[in-house]
Amino acid sequence: MFEIIFVLIFIATLLVTGVTMLTVFAAAGFALAIMVLLGMVGAVIKILPWLIVIAIGIWFFKNHVHTSR
């Protein structure tokens, strides 16, 4: 949600300052791409502890549970 608000404010600021529409679209696309990328990085950091727990669980299952059968 923060990403969308940032991009909308960014576009409005460019339009108020009198920049051409082509520049506004290019800047909006670039800002949207950067914010989406940063949002994905934030999501990965947020779920990183669960990814580590899952990786340890898979390693434990492969090395201790599955080989004993």
**Among 1-5, 6-10, 55-59, the least confident range:** 1-5
- Are the C-beta atoms of 67 and 42 separated by less than 8 Å? no
- Are the C-beta atoms of 50 and 26 separated by less than 8 Å? no
Single pTM value for the model: 0.55
Residue of 49, 57, 17 whose CA lies nearest to 66: 57
Q: How far is CA 68 from CA 12, 35, 59, 65, in A?
A: 63, 48, 14, 6
pLDDT of residue 40: 92
Q: State pLDDT tens for residues 19-47.
A: 788 887 888 788 888 888 988 999 999 99
